[in-house]
Structure 1
Amino acid sequence: MQKIPRNLFVSIILVLILAGCNIPGLRTNPTPILFPTPNYTMTALFSVDVQDPTATPLVVVVTQSESTQIPTQEPTALPTATMQPPTNTPIVVTATPQSTATSLPTATNTPVVRTGNWVTASYLNTAPNLDSVWDEWNTTKYPAKYVAYGSGEWKNSDDLEGSFRIGWDNNYLYVAVKVLDDQYVQNATGQDLYKGDSIEILLDTNLYGDLNSNSLSSDDYQIGISPGKNGIDGIKEGYLWFPSSKAGGISGIKIGSSKGEGVYRVEMAIPWSTFGISPSSGQQYGFGLSISDNDNESSNVQQSMVSNLSNRSLVNPTIWTVLTLTK
């Protein structure tokens, strides 16, 4: 008879305990106490309680810490900023709308301006006498002093250094060159004349048509000038190497030269027809002038070269400077 009341008493006690105690796991409301979580800074930045995202993405600076999963409420991923290495060439950027996150903008094809010491050719009302005297050249003098080839053979400015002046009229491109050279040697001819003391001229006749092309094309010209074979008073000639389809002696070229102690001078008149050009004031061309040297009288060899181009490259016209015709 005592068993039933005892069970009833135990049941009542259990009910009272369940009603009065807060057993973990039975409450459904979250605890009001906030405990720091790993990477609490990121949790706060990416909290779901922030305002609705705007059209312009937020820029967030994140420090290295434990990874925190970023909520994926928006279908568009947050943009990632990628550091780009600096380049020497300015990149022209086309702006994109800010309504959506996009990839990095693509550079346009805006022409790149050539650097270096640009050259101006002044119009000459009277053609200069090709007597290697500069008195009648009322034009700017430009240096050709950068060692472009054979630095091991080049000794100093007395061994090889140069300067030049340039002008034009409707028939010719005029170039006058002064060369410091302690020994004049030119025994080569034709396509080999660069293996002796000689002048080289590079001209890009379609500068803006292929401004960014780093290879030679049919509008790029390379010509050589010999001041005189077997001596400064010897046979003078001009030779065209490139375009190779036009290779050969230059018809109609005029050359005058003279020699002094440790120096020689050359003046030349190159027909515009050599380049297929009808000149006019304001025209611009790619340009380079270089001087080859050989001090070995028993061998035809190009020992060194100086240029007005600090980093001359024959096969890369983007390295050449700019020649402007003025009047």
Structure 2
Amino acid sequence: MKRFLMISLILLVVLSISFGEDVKLRKGTWTHYVPYVTTPPKVDGDVSVSEYFLSPRYYVGLKGDVDYIPENWKGPDDLSVVYYMVWDKNYLYIGAIVKDDSIVQLATGENIWQGDHLELWFDTDLQGDFEDKANNKDDFQFGISPGDFDLLEPEVWVWTPPVLAEDVKKVQLAAKKIDGGYTLEFAIPWTLLKVKPEPNLIMGFAFSPSDTDTPGKLDQEMMMSSAPGSSPNWGNPTFWGNLILVDPLEKF
């Protein structure tokens, strides 16, 4: 009953959100509504619905989501992701359940894009540079690697803008191998994104899983995205979607 009530509150909050005429949102793409939580998820790789029950269930795994080398995608078991997002005053939390029938990751550091990973883009000043078609210092590109579940540990990398390695290490990360794929659970500090979190904060956002299936190969063989078209248009914020922080209890 509690879960049903809280999900109903989320829907009411989403329906009641109104912005001024000067507020801009990306059209024709996804909007992620991210609810505030007082009890954050434990970042341990166990992506429990009970910890993320306030979050909508987001899914990339349809044919139309594949926007880089689509001929290499063989269906949802090849690559698809269910994911959840919540926030508190310190972190943005994301729990992802990845279906991947062949986990291949041989790279570390800046080269993790050549193996299985998630790519996330954030435009932290969406209103200030809405029309810009090139990324700049307020646009963050994260890579989240599960490792290889043998020798390589899970890893976070930030390709752009330049950030201190010690700040990237503050990202909490856990991964687990599961039947037919793996999970990734991570918490990004707001201090790393250099934004002050508050209800109705709007950012540009894209969630893009990447796949490599050939054992022993370093290559990006396919990619899909919550913002289809963004993968082949690297770093162009106008292709990304919206991310809006909400507080389900703020108006009640």
TM-score range, shorter chain: 0.7 to 0.9
Contact 2:97 2:182 in 1 (8 A): yes
Determine if the alignment matches structure 1 residue 300 to structure 2 residue 202: no
Moved more, 111-120 or 195-204: 111-120
Q: For residues 121 and 157 of structure 2, what CA distance do their matches in structure 1 show? A: 12
- Please state how far the C-alpha of 1:112 moved relative to its aligned partner: 5.5
- Partner of residue 47, structure 2: 133
- Partner of residue 246, structure 1: 163
Change (3 A) 1:111 1:171: closer
Determine if the alignment matches structure 1 residue 257 to structure 2 residue 186: no
* Partner AA of 1:137 in structure 2: Y
Higher relative contact order (CA 8 A, sep 6+): 2
Name the count of aligned residue pairs.
216
- Partner of residue 180, structure 1: 99
SS of the equivalent of 2:113 reads helix
- Partner of residue 205, structure 1: 124
Bigger radius of gyration:
1
* Partner AA of 1:215 in structure 2: A
* Partner AA of 2:219 in structure 1: V
Q: For residues 232 and 157 of structure 1, what CA distance do their matches in structure 2 show? A: 25
* Partner AA of 2:117 in structure 1: S
- Partner of residue 11, structure 2: none
Q: For residues 57 and 104 of structure 2, what CA distance do their matches in structure 1 show? A: 25
After superposition, the C-alpha distances for 1:103-143 in whole angstroms (9 at most, x for unaligned) are: xxxxxxx7764121200111111120123222311110112
Which of 59, 77, 80 is matched with 1:158 structurally?
77
Q: How does 1:246-325 map to 2 (within 5 A)?
A: 246=163, 250-312=168-230, 313-325=233-245
Runs (4+) of structure 1 moved beyond 6 Å?
A: none
Q: How does 1:1-327 map to 2 (within 5 A)?
A: 113-115=25-27, 116-131=29-44, 132-135=46-49, 136-138=51-53, 139-145=55-61, 146-228=65-147, 230-231=148-149, 234-243=152-161, 245-246=162-163, 250-312=168-230, 313-327=233-247
- Partner of residue 14, structure 2: none
Structure 2 unaligned segments of length 5 or more: list them: 1-21, 248-252
- Please state how far the C-alpha of 1:253 moved relative to its aligned partner: 1.0
Change (3 A) 1:299 1:270: same
SS of the equivalent of 2:128 reads coil
Change (3 A) 1:112 1:208: closer
SS of the equivalent of 1:208 reads coil
* Partner AA of 2:163 in structure 1: K
- Please state how far the C-alpha of 1:319 moved relative to its aligned partner: 1.1
SS of the equivalent of 1:152 reads helix
- Please state how far the C-alpha of 1:272 moved relative to its aligned partner: 1.1
Contact 2:104 2:216 in 1 (8 A): no
